[in-house]
Chains A and B, each alone.
Chain A
Amino acid sequence: DVKVTQSSRYLVKRTGEKVFLECVQDMDHENMFWYRQDPGLGLRLIYFSYDVKMKEKGDIPEGYSVSREKKERFSLILESASTNQTSMYLCASSPYRGLSYNSPLHFGNGTRLTVT
């Protein structure tokens, strides 16, 4: 079974802090994604990566950056946390299966971040 592990289930940070959310997958997947989930808004894509050191902006990248130095690890960075970044953050991975992109995403259990 694919395992996607997010380093923290709950995190409380102060406004202005630099925050790192870590995600590791154990199935050698090429693609990795960061989503945030808010009530009434569903899941929104922040950033994704299709290879080591490669990254692409999603729908809501402002205030975030990412790092992918190794294939199995994808980090989300909040450069200066703000209260409107309080949310559930979900990491996911998927294998590359050609241009049809018919691969499901495998999700971690999420990190609930509170910024005070």
Chain B
Amino acid sequence: SQQGEEDPQALSIQEGENATMNCSYKTSINNLQWYRQNSGRGLVHLILIRSNEREKHSGRLRVTLDTSKKSSSLLITASRAADTASYFCATTNAGGTSYGKLTFGQGTILTVHP
């Protein structure tokens, strides 16, 4: 079953603009992570936010988490053509014995035009 749902499914912007992607999930989580995937390659971890955190920054990335709404957003500021990729949110469920397994959403395809 899909835990995370990204929105929008596709986003097309110009270089220099900001890109915002949203993720919603259904169950209580331990943490939420964002990954990037370049075409035909594996996923690369971008940022992890714990369930007791509300905002986190890493370079041009800003992630927010609202556990009351079960949603997260990823903001990429001053986008570059090299940011063109698919972006996925993924969650680790709270409680139980999850062994750190992640449940992924369907992803947002970001295209940044030079």
Contact = CB atoms under 8 A, between A and B. Distances in A.
A101 B99 contact: yes
B106 A107 contact: no
Contact of B45 (A104, A108, A109): A104
A40 B105 CA distance: 10
B43 A90 contact: yes
Contacts of B41: 109-110
B43 A102 contact: no
Contacts, number: 74
Interface stretch (A12-20, A41-49, A64-72, A74-82): A41-49
Interface in A24-67: 31, 33, 35, 40-45, 48, 50, 56, 58-59
A105 B102 contact: yes
A102 B44 contact: no
Given A104-B48, A109-B41, A109-B42, A42 B101 contact: no
B2 A42 contact: yes
Interface size class of A (residues with CB under 8 A): 20 to 34
Contact of A42 (B40, B92, B98, B105): B105
Nearest to A33: B101
A44 B1 CA distance: 8
B30 A4 contact: no
15 contacts: A4-B42, A35-B104, A42-B88, A42-B106, A43-B90, A45-B101, A45-B102, A50-B99, A56-B99, A100-B50, A101-B99, A102-B50, A104-B48, A105-B35, A107-B43
